[in-house]
Amino acid sequence: MRTSALWSVLACAGCTVPAIELEGKPCPCLDGYSCDVASNTCVRSGASESCLVAPAGAPLYSTGFDDLTGWTQGGVGSWRAEAGTAIQSDSTSEFAYTFQPAVAADDYRIVSRFRAIDGTGPSTSIELAARVQRDNAGGQYHCNWDPINGQFNIMYSMSATDTGFLHSVFIDVSQLPGHDPMGWFTMEFQVRGSRLDCCVRGVGGAAGFANDTRFTSGAPGMKTFLVAAAYDDYTVLAAE
């Protein structure tokens, strides 16, 4: 009996336990995987930083904000480039936006980092804007993240006073480990046909989609609501 057991041990001395495959499994995830918050599934760490399920296409535009050359300001607010960031410094403005009309594509994904500088109201938001109407009347889609109060929205605006919600969720930021309301966040906002997808990387629950046909074309941009904010590393990619 002992001899049989010894041979079993020796036979398995070179055995290896197959790695546990967690790709596509529900979160939470083990080491070597990260949680894709948009789908609530595990992906291999480093396989993709994106929090959107679909892969992005080729780059269409990118800026490190050495200046705001080519950008068009709409609404109110005060925009400037400073130390490699785009800053909107007026925390009292409700409809401050700027857009890049040189991007001609109708379907695209915007990826940008941003952070709040000042804003203490019960509702604030740092936003990425898509399909901003070039007539500067205010028409656009925008995805909003309020890191101070925990509100995540996808909205449309026909003008400064005519707006509506397409997707909305409240997140209890007090339950987010290490959450810093003034820290940097990376948002991705994609428009493709009538579908709008948006998410904030690393913030569980800050993801959603909507379908809408109000705007079929328009420029990518940035927008704020009752908050001063800084934007960094703004990239526009083709939507696949």
Q: Which of 15-19, 93-97, 154-158, 178-182 has the lowest mean pLDDT?
A: 15-19
pTM of the predicted structure, to 2 decimals: 0.81
For the chain, which residues make up each domain, given as ranges? 1-48, 49-239
The per-residue pLDDT for 185 is 98
Mean of the per-residue pLDDT values of the chain: 89
Question: Which pLDDT does position 7 carry in this prediction?
Answer: 46
Tens of pLDDT, residue by residue over 23-73, are 678 877 665 555 665 566 766 544 458 999 999 999 999 999 999 999 999
CA-based diameter of the chain, in Å? 87
Q: Is the pLDDT of residue 99 over 70?
A: yes
Pick from 128, 118, 125: nearest CA to 89: 118
pLDDT, position 35: 63
29 and 21 Cβ atoms separated by less than 8 Å: no
Q: pLDDT exceeding 70 applies to what percent of the chain? A: 82
Q: What is the pLDDT of residue 27?
A: 75
The whole-number pLDDT of residue 199 equals: 98
Token readout for 216 is: 């079929």
> Over 50: is that where the pLDDT of 12 sits?
no
pLDDT of residue 24: 75
Task: For residue range 159-169, list pLDDT tens digits in order.
Answer: 999 999 999 99
CATH class belonging to 49-239? mainly beta
208 vs 39 pLDDT, higher one: 208
Residues 6+ apart with CB under 8 A from 176: 203, 204
> Where residue 124 falls among pLDDT bands split at 50, 70, 90?
very high
* pLDDT greater than 70 at residue 226: yes
Q: Which amino acid belongs to residue 14? A: G
Task: Spell out the residues 6+ positions from residue 103 whose beta carbon is closer than 8 angstroms to its own.
Answer: 60, 61, 219, 220, 236
Residue pLDDT, tens place only, 177-205: 999 999 999 999 999 999 999 999 999 99
